[in-house]
């Protein structure tokens, strides 16, 4: 996974990635964005000033006068023209000269070099004419060229800013202030001063200022911007809340779990930012194409000049052709083709609960042939729920059984205990107190409740103590059962199961439609694995696998030529995630540090995995469309600019070339902005 970092080091074609650098620490208020905004205003201002100056330049130009049929030549008129044009050349051309210097320093000549070269040639030639060289000056072409170049850059930077705006929206989710609860008052503080264990108050309708645990109160929270989950989620005392989530109508107090810079949202912003800067194969392809285009432009431009000049055309004509070729060739559209899609797709993914850490992994999602799912927590909910309560004695009804069992389980952290306690909570049953509590190792627990001796035990305990397993008792393959014994009499049993997520079946079906195999890989027993695999209609399952064996299973699949994506919860699946072609870590925001995975799913929702594959395909398509458009446009326009169809009366002026170039850039920008996540 390290290779993409190398690519990050060499910066991209002069200006076009610099537009995307947002300052290194997003929570520091987007220093880079402000710089970007200043550049946009700068281009805008230069554009308007050049526009005002271009009007008299046009009117004073011999060619335009000739064309319009009037003659305004007066003594010294060409010197006024020269003076005005010089202002346009120096003031309007300055950003391009700066860019040229940067590119030469970086030994990476590109767009800025080309533009600066073209306008300098046009200017020097025109000045020579004013001071005695025979021919027609080029001033109006020079002015319109600079004007359109400034406009093009201004539009282009605005579109890049648009793509990065989603990132700013994420930043704005973080409220600037928080209500800190002091012993005798509530005090407003800046969010970034909060630290672990501070207590904050979140009023109805406000944004949560920090990640934390609810200390008191309950409410519904909308986390859709962070996790893509559209329904507001009910949060009670003890539940986790994420900074940036919008509070519903309840007031809650939250114990802060870490400082703002470590919050889930800051991590997301940092990941989005890094991903926008990280290069993928497609990006590197575009960079190479842009570099070649620059070289071709210079060679083609100079060749065009010599061909026309040596074949007997005027110096002015040959110069004009050269400048037009160079302008047409500016690889703006190419330089933007990929970064715009990258910016848009990364930000969109983040909004939809997909965090892309590695661009290449994301673009390769289109090649996936097999997805290996870890069962618990991805395809299943990952927590036990009571599926049935059976009473075996008339003295006890179902509520008695769960009530007595819960008394013993209230001390325990075990998933089964959690499941039983949740059921009691749902049924609003009061849990009685216990005495003489004792754990029977590996078999269950015993205690005295309401002066009865109660045991909650596994089927194994019944066998060992020769208690008869009740008639008609059949444990479903996917269920876990505990028995309740009251005063040495079997009173009943409770069955629990880890339920399959409602979205799983649909996700597997969509994968099938896209010819992607789904395989279940689990440490659970074969019966459970088979049951889940069959229920969901998966292609196959591999059960009773220990974490270190998962890696081997992935390698086996790869050796059969499969392009494998592995989804796992990051911790015990790290080696398997690293070896898979694409590692997708599933899990709540707290485990964002799933270092080995290229992509992180915020919600452990299997449908997001399908969205990821489809969105990866859509993103790749957009990039390729943009690259085809950007190169195709140059292939057609360059020969026209060089004057191939001159005999047929088709000739592009430098200004027309510049307009075409701007249009192609805008087409690429619009195409990128049309990217969407299909739900």
The DSSP result for 521-547, as a single string, is: E-SS-HHHHHHHHHHHT-SEEE-S--H
Looking at residue 25, its pLDDT comes to: 39
User: Among 494-508, 577-591, 604-618, 639-653, where is mean pLDDT lowest?
Assistant: 577-591
Strands (E), 334-451: 354-356, 370-374, 380-391, 435-440, 444-449
Greatest mean pLDDT range, 259-268, 331-340, 394-403: 394-403
Looking at residue 73, its pLDDT comes to: 74
Q: Which residue has the tokens 């986390």?
A: 223
Looking at residue 233, its pLDDT comes to: 83
Greatest mean pLDDT range, 44-53, 465-474, 637-646: 44-53
Looking at residue 175, its pLDDT comes to: 82
pLDDT(4) > 50 = no
Among 642, 638, 639, smallest CA distance to 311 is for 642
Looking at residue 250, its pLDDT comes to: 85
Looking at residue 478, its pLDDT comes to: 66
Residue 273 among the catalytic residues: no
> Regarding predicted confidence, which is higher, 595 or 2?
595
| Alpha carbon distance, N-terminus to C-terminus of the chain | 29
Greatest mean pLDDT range, 132-141, 195-204, 415-424: 195-204
Looking at residue 358, its pLDDT comes to: 79
Q: Given pLDDT bands bounded at 50, 70 and 90, which one contains residue 416?
A: confident
For 395, the 3-state DSSP assignment is: coil
Among 483, 485, 503, 478, smallest CA distance to 493 is for 483
Tell me the backbone φ, ψ of residue 381, rounded to 5 degrees: -70, -25
Distances, alpha carbon 212 to alpha carbons 223, 238, 262, 383, 418, in Å? 14, 9, 12, 22, 22
pLDDT tens readout for residues 425-469: 888 888 888 888 887 766 778 888 888 899 888 777 887 777 777
Exposed/middle/buried for residue 662 (C-beta within 10 Å: 0-12, 13-18, 19+): buried
Exposed/middle/buried for residue 426 (C-beta within 10 Å: 0-12, 13-18, 19+): exposed
> Regarding predicted confidence, which is higher, 45 or 568?
45
What's the rounded Cα separation, in Å, for the pair 244 and 498? 31
What's the rounded Cα separation, in Å, for the pair 229 and 167? 19
Among 587, 622, 616, 614, smallest CA distance to 679 is for 614
* Mean pLDDT, residues 215-232: 77
Looking at residue 162, its pLDDT comes to: 62
Greatest mean pLDDT range, 327-336, 412-421, 493-502: 493-502
**Cβ count near 55 (within 10 Å):** 11
Looking at residue 679, its pLDDT comes to: 65
Looking at residue 333, its pLDDT comes to: 77
Q: Which residue has the tokens 């009530």?
A: 403
Token pair of 371 as six digits: 């997805």
pLDDT(662) > 50 = yes
Q: Given pLDDT bands bounded at 50, 70 and 90, which one contains residue 229?
A: low
CA dihedral 302, 307, 308, 312 (to 10 degrees): 140
Looking at residue 6, its pLDDT comes to: 38
pLDDT tens readout for residues 33-80: 677 778 888 999 999 999 999 999 888 877 677 777 777 777 778 888
The DSSP result for 80-106, as a single string, is: HHHHHHHHIIIIIHHHHHHHHHHHHHT
- Sign of the C-alpha dihedral computed for residues 530, 533, 539 and 545 taken in this order: negative
Token pair of 277 as six digits: 């800067």
pLDDT tens readout for residues 356-378: 877 788 888 889 999 998 766 67
Q: What value does the mean pLDDT of the chain take?
A: 80
Q: How many CA atoms lie within 13 A of 635 on its CB side?
A: 7
Token pair of 473 as six digits: 């008792």
Q: Given pLDDT bands bounded at 50, 70 and 90, which one contains residue 169?
A: low
What's the rounded Cα separation, in Å, for the pair 535 and 478? 11
> Regarding predicted confidence, which is higher, 670 or 440?
670
What's the rounded Cα separation, in Å, for the pair 182 and 46? 53
* Mean pLDDT, residues 389-416: 83
Looking at residue 19, its pLDDT comes to: 37
- Provide the 8-state DSSP code for 207: B
Among 300, 374, 400, smallest CA distance to 547 is for 374
Which domains, from first to last, does the chain contain? 3-170+270-348+619-673 (no CATH), 177-262 (2.70.150.10), 349-375+502-616 (3.40.50.1000), 381-500 (3.40.1110.10)
pLDDT(589) > 70 = no
CA dihedral 53, 85, 293, 671 (to 10 degrees): 0
- Residue 230's region, left for phi above 0, alpha for psi from -120 to 50, else beta, is alpha
Q: Given pLDDT bands bounded at 50, 70 and 90, which one contains residue 323?
A: confident
Percent over 70 (pLDDT), the chain: 85
Distances, alpha carbon 557 to alpha carbons 366, 470, 562, 639, in Å? 18, 45, 6, 50
Looking at residue 164, its pLDDT comes to: 61
Looking at residue 32, its pLDDT comes to: 57
The DSSP result for 541-560, as a single string, is: EE-S--HHHHHHHHHHHHHT
> Regarding predicted confidence, which is higher, 436 or 559?
559
Looking at residue 168, its pLDDT comes to: 67
What's the rounded Cα separation, in Å, for the pair 551 and 510? 26
Among 219, 210, 288, smallest CA distance to 254 is for 210
Find the catalytic residue in 192, 374, 400, 581: 374
Looking at residue 570, its pLDDT comes to: 53
């Amino acid at each position: 996974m390290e290779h993409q970092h190398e690519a990050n080091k060499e910066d991209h074609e002069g200006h076009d990635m610099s537009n995307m650098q947002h300052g290194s620490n997003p929570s520091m208020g987007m220093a880079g964005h402000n710089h970007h905004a200043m550049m946009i205003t700068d281009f805008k201002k230069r554009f308007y000033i050049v526009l005002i100056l271009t009007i008299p330049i046009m009117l004073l130009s011999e060619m335009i006068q000739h064309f319009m049929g009037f003659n305004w030549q007066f003594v010294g008129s060409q010197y006024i023209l020269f003076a005005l044009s010089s202002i346009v050349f120096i003031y309007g051309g300055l950003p391009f000269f700066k860019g040229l210097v940067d590119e030469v320093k970086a030994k990476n000549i590109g767009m800025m070099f080309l533009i600066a070269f073209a306008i300098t040639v046009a200017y020097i030639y025109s000045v020579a004419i004013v001071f005695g060289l025979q021919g027609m000056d080029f001033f109006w072409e020079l002015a319109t060229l600079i004007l359109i170049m400034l406009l093009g850059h201004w539009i282009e930077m605005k579109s890049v800013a648009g793509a990065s705006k989603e990132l700013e929206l994420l930043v704005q989710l973080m409220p600037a202030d928080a209500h800190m609860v002091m012993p005798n008052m509530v005090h407003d503080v800046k969010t970034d001063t909060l630290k672990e264990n501070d207590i904050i108050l979140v009023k109805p309708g406000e944004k949560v200022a920090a990640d934390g645990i609810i200390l008191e109160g309950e409410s519904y929270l909308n986390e859709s911007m962070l996790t893509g989950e559209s329904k507001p989620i009910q949060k009670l005392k003890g539940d986790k809340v994420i900074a940036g989530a919008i509070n519903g109508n309840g007031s809650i107090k939250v114990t802060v779990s870490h400082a703002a810079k470590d919050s889930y949202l800051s991590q997301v912003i940092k990941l989005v930012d890094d991903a926008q800067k990280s290069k993928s194969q497609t990006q590197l392809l575009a960079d190479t194409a842009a570099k070649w285009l620059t070289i071709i432009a210079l060679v083609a431009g100079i060749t065009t000049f010599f061909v026309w000049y040596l074949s007997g055309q005027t110096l002015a004509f040959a110069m004009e052709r050269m400048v037009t070729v160079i302008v047409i060739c500016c690889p703006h559209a190419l330089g933007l083709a990929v970064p715009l899609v990258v910016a848009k797709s990364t930000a969109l993914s983040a909004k939809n609960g997909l965090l892309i850490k590695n661009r290449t992994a994301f673009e390769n999602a289109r090649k996936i042939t097999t997805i290996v799912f870890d069962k618990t927590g991805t395809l299943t909910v990952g927590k036990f729920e009571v599926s049935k309560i059976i009473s075996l004695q008339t003295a006890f009804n179902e509520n008695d059984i769960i009530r007595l069992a819960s008394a013993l389980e209230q001390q325990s952290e075990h998933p089964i205990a959690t499941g039983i306690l949740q059921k009691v909570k749902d049924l609003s049953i009061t849990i009685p107190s216990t005495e003489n509590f004792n754990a029977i190792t590996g078999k269950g627990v015993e205690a005295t409740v309401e002066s009865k001796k109660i045991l909650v035990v596994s089927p194994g305990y019944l066998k060992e103590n020769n208690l008869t397993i009740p008639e008609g008792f059949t444990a479903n393959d996917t269920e876990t059962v505990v028995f309740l014994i009251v005063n040495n009499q079997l009173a009943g049993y409770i069955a629990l199961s880890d339920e399959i997520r409602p979205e799983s079946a649909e996700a597997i079906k969509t994968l099938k439609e896209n010819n992607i195999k789904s395989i279940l890989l689990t440490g659970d027993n074969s019966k459970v694995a088979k049951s889940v695999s069959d229920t969901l209609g998966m292609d196959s399952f591999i059960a009773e696998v220990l974490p270190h064996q998962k890696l081997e299973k992935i390698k086996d699949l790869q050796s059969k030529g499969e392009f494998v994506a592995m989804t796992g919860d990051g911790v015990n699946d790290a080696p398997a995630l690293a070896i898979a072609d694409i590692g997708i870590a599933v899990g709540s925001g707290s485990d964002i540090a799933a270092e080995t995975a290229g992509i992180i799913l915020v919600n452990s929702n299997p449908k997001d995995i399908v969205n990821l594959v489809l969105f990866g395909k859509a993103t790749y398509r957009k990039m390729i469309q943009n690259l085809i458009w950007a190169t195709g446009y140059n292939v057609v326009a360059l020969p026209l600019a060089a004057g191939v169809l001159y005999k047929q009366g088709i000739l592009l002026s430098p200004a027309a070339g510049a307009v075409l170039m701007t249009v192609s850039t805008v087409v690429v920008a619009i195409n990128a902005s049309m990217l969407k996540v299909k739900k």
